[in-house]
């Protein structure tokens, strides 16, 4: 029977590509989303992948939704913690709400979604947890103290949990994308992209969501069973970690 994968934030951007790639690789995929009902429904019609609406920053909401996914599809074998938000601002102007919202989704969300599936993975002696961090969690970014802190926290979460899961057949890894050609990035002023962003990327282009998705498919596979606690730096050479 096909393994079950849950991709949080799985209906748009990088998550959209990950969901499709996992389905194409033979997984039974569920994709979560937080608020854009129209986009989620369009995604479900396009792909045939069931969608589940919940806020990863709420443990109770995540736990309830994950139980429903497992009731509908079966035990979750692969969890891709992809859901993330930004609320940028210089630190001297950053509000407590901006800080709490980003930490709540990008860091607390990892606990909220991983904890409900962890014991099942341990019992079955198999699991794959793949956390989508960011280049800015590795190097930091001005105007993104909250985001950079959350994404750095994702890497620490990955390294510690990998040590706990190893003997139980569970791998835990992180992927740190650089600038990827999602709607959000492509909405940046083309002049800014050309003059300020692309010159920082040695390969001279934005990454494609499918390139991150292929990393996920590999880490989810049996072939990656000896890789855990690792960070894949997928940024076109912009930053070496």
Q: What is the DSSP letter of 166?
A: G
Whether 22 contacts 5, CB under 8 Å: yes
Select which of 27, 147, 179, 239 is catalytic.
147
Gap between the Cα atoms of 224 and 28, Å rounded: 19
Gap between the Cα atoms of 7 and 3, Å rounded: 13
Neighbours of 216 (CB within 10 A): 28
Helix, strand, coil percentages in the chain from 3-state DSSP, rounded to 5:
55, 15, 30
Active-site residue 59, yes or no? no
CA distances from 111 to 83, 104, 140 (A): 12, 10, 22
Residue 76 has which token pair?
Answer: 């979750």
Residue 53 has which token pair?
Answer: 């609406």
Q: Which residues are catalytic?
A: 147
């Amino acid at each position: 029977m096909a393994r079950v994968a849950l991709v949080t934030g799985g209906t748009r951007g990088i998550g959209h590509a990950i969901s499709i790639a996992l389905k194409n690789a033979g997984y039974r995929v569920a994709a979560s989303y937080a608020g854009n009902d129209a986009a989620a429904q369009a995604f479900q019609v396009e792909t045939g992948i069931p969608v589940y609406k919940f806020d990863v920053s709420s443990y109770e909401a995540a736990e309830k939704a994950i139980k429903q996914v497992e009731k509908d599809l079966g035990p979750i074998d692969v969890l891709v913690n992809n859901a993330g938000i930004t609320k940028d601002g210089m630190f001297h102007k950053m509000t407590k709400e901006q800080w709490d919202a980003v930490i709540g989704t990008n860091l607390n969300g990892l606990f909220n979604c991983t904890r409900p599936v962890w014991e099942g993975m341990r019992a079955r002696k198999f699991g794959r947890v793949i956390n989508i961090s960011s280049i800015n969690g590795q190097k930091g970014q001005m105007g993104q103290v909250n985001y950079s802190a959350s994404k750095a926290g994702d890497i620490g979460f990955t390294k510690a949990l990998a040590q706990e899961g190893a003997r139980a057949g569970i791998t835990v890894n992180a992927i740190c994308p650089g600038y990827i050609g999602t709607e959000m990035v492509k909405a940046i002023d083309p002049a800014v992209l050309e003059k300020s962003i692309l010159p920082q990327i040695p390969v001279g282009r934005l990454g494609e969501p499918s390139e991150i998705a292929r990393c996920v498919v590999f880490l989810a596979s049996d072939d990656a069973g000896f890789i855990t606690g690792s960070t894949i730096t997928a940024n076109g050479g912009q930053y070496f970690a």
